[in-house]
Amino acid sequence: MKNLIFVKLGGSLITDKSKPYTARLDVIKRLCKEIHEAREEEKFALLIGHGGGSFPHVSAKAYQAHKGVINENSWEGFAKVQDDAAKLNRIIVSSLIEAGENAFSVQPSASCIAKNDRIIDWYTKPIEIAVEKNLVPVPYGDICLDTAKGFCIISTEEILRFLSRKLKPKRIIMAGKTDGVLNEMGVVIKEINKKNFNEIKEALSESDGIADVTGGMLQKVKLALQMDGEVEIINGLKPGFLKRALLGEKGLGTIIKG
């Protein structure tokens, strides 16, 4: 898997977070087209994760799902969050197939176990075999059974953190809707590493929109620093940026080195 790349499509990129259950279909289709064009030009293995955006974050906030089992309605919340997350995943997978990729859904809520929001067990052999066969696995931010809390929310970054330790991607590209990680002046921070993280973390605020129970940009950067592989956060709203990054161009956004 020397040629393996992870891609994350951010929830704020692929959905309108100000409108519940609203996918940005034009953006999704363009990104899927860029992915397929890049794979046509250069051969590399691929795994794509995506955030939940305005789909599961709504029900997750309503039931306070990030707190786990807290009352008699909590398991109802578990079911609704799981259903909401899966609905967006089907849109992404269908769009990838339409673009020409043999993509398939990987459901974290049915295959992961966590403890205090951290994945501790995941049988990843099917994902590994799929990647070797040139299929494109598509896991996503989801709800997850948790040995300490009953259940928890696992972000796409937590998923990629865990999988990067197993699959060792050469690069992790995280596409959002900003030009990278911005400082307090709105200027892109070109590189974040363990040495300068404490200096810039105050500038990292929570994501925009109606709700985000996964911790916003600060938590995303924290988890990116723990991933096995160089991470770059780019602007997926800029046509061609994802394709250029997949074909090897660097410096389009913020590079994160753990």
Query: Can you read off the two tokens belonging to residue 71?
Result: 């009352």
Strands in 112-115's sheet, in edge-to-edge order, are 118-122, 112-115, 142-146, 150-154
Task: Give residue-wise pLDDT tens across range 39-86.
Answer: 999 999 999 999 999 999 889 999 999 999 999 999 999 999 999 999
Task: Return the structure tokens found at 224.
Answer: 């990116």
Can you give the pTM of this predicted structure? 0.93
113 pLDDT band (50/70/90 cuts)? very high
Residue 157 near residue 224 (C-beta atoms within 8 A): yes
Contact between residue 236 and residue 27 where contact means Cβ atoms under 8 Å apart: yes
Structure tokens at 136: 């494109």
pLDDT of 128 above 50: yes
Nearest Cα neighbor of 206 from 191, 221, 192 is 221
Question: What pLDDT, in 10s, does the model give residues 138-174?
Answer: 999 999 999 999 999 999 999 999 999 999 999 999 9
Angle formed at CA 227 by CA 52 and CA 91, multiple of 5 degrees? 25
Q: What is the pLDDT of residues 182-235, one digit of tens each?
A: 888 889 999 999 999 988 887 775 444 444 555 578 888 999 999 999 999 999
Please count the CA atoms within 13 angstroms of the CA of 39 that sit on its side-chain side. Answer: 23
Fold for the domain defined by 4-257: Carbamate kinase (3.40.1160)
Task: For residue 81, give the H/E element and its range.
Answer: helix 74-99
SS3 140: strand
User: Tell me, what's the pLDDT at 1?
Assistant: 62
- Residue 104: is its pLDDT beyond 50? yes
- Helix, strand, or coil (residue 52): coil
